């Protein structure tokens, strides 16, 4: 795709096509785009976001429109610089209820993985939303330190629900010191920065994006808890293992 680089087709809705391409961040990431085929094609970017790394966006009314179909001309034309192995994208339909479709998108580069959920709502006007769920990539964060990203450590889909819902356990972010040992969370860190926590994510079909009820979030500060490293498998399933410091890149 001109100005974006190599793209991968994910799904089609009427005259709207969804694509993915390599992200422009230093870590394994993807960018998502829509293309509306019409007399003058409309191309725009779908921003991928995370509740786990910026929870202020979770119920922030001022930012909710940013989670829907958005064309950002200052970002969409930035071409990613090819690094490492070519990205592979695996798309699987997780749920289709009424006009709501939820896809799992697994991005793979060598032995590293990032997992996204892509929601599409066709009940009124077609809208899309991309949620970054988990990644097993550890990134260089400066001064000989590395960091993992907060993300899902386990996912349980609630198939009996009338809408798409999933109970997600989240592992907090961890950072390593130059000697490879884990750094303690800051003194002012809250429980979600110190311990795993559980929340229920759901697809809001009326508004066309993922959301959660922050009042029902539960912190899991278990006795003897030790930081864990996220592992995303080739089928998109998630597990954990004892945390190991990452090599600097």
Q: Give the residue, 248 or 195, on which the prediction is more confident.
A: 195
Q: Which domain holds residue 207?
A: 7-242
Selection from 24, 121, 27, 106 nearest residue 67 by Cα? 121
- pLDDT of 246 reads 45
Q: What DSSP string runs through 149-213?
A: --EEEEEEE-TTSSS-EEEEEEEPP-EE-TTSPBPPPPTT--HHHHS-EEEEEEEETTTTEEEE-
Residue 156 resides in a domain: yes
Evaluate whether residue 151 is within a structural domain: yes
d(CA 107, CA 87): 7
The 3-state secondary structure of 64-103, one letter per residue:
HHHHCCCCCCCCCCCCCCCCCCCCEEEEEEEEEECCEEEE
Contact 199, 96 (CB under 8 A): no
pLDDT score recorded for residue 187: 80
Cβ atoms 20, 30 nearer than 8 A? yes
- pTM for this predicted structure: 0.85
Report residue 95's pLDDT band, with 50, 70 and 90 as the boundaries.
very high
On whether residue 33 sits in a domain, the answer given is: yes
Q: Is residue 248 part of a domain?
A: no
Residue 1 lies in a domain: no
- Rounded to 10 degrees, the C-alpha dihedral 134/159/199/224 comes to -80
Q: Which run of H or of E encompasses 62? A: none
Give the model confidence (pLDDT) of 9-18 as tens digits: 999 988 899 9
Residue 121 domain-assigned (yes or no): yes
Residue 247 placed within a domain? no
The tens digit of pLDDT for each residue in 8-62 reads 999 998 889 999 988 876 567 788 998 888 888 888 888 888 999 754 333 333 3
CA distance 25 to 58: 22
| SS3 category, 129 | strand
- How many structural domains does the chain have? 1
How crowded is residue 147: how many other Cβ atoms within 10 Å of its Cβ? 17
Does the residue 2 lie in any domain? no
Lowest mean pLDDT of 23-37, 77-91, 147-161, 180-194, name the range: 77-91
């Amino acid at each position: 795709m001109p100005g974006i680089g190599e793209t991968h087709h994910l799904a089609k809705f009427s005259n709207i096509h969804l694509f993915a391409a390599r992200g422009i961040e230093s870590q394994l990431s993807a960018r998502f785009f829509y293309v509306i085929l019409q007399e003058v094609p409309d191309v725009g970017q779908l921003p991928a976001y995370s509740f786990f790394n910026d929870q202020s966006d979770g119920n922030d009314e001022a930012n909710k429109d940013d989670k829907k179909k958005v064309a950002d001309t200052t970002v969409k034309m930035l071409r990613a610089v090819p690094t490492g192995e070519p990205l592979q994208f695996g798309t699987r339909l997780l749920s289709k209820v009424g006009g709501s479709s939820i896809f799992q998108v697994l991005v793979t580069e060598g032995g590293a993985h990032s997992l996204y959920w892509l929601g599409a709502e066709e009940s009124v006007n077609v809208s899309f939303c991309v949620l970054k769920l988990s990644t097993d990539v550890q990134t260089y964060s400066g001064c000989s330190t590395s960091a993992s990203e907060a993300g899902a450590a386990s996912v349980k889909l609630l198939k009996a629900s009338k809408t798409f819902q999933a109970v997600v356990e989240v592992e907090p972010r961890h950072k390593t010191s130059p000697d490879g040992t884990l750094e303690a969370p800051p003194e002012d860190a809250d429980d979600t920065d110190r311990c795993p926590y559980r929340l229920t994510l759901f697809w809001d079909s009326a508004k066309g994006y993922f959301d959660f009820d922050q009042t029902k979030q539960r912190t899991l500060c278990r006795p003897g808890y030790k930081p864990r490293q996220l592992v995303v498998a080739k089928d998109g399933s998630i597990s954990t293992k004892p945390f190991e410091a990452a090599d600097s890149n």
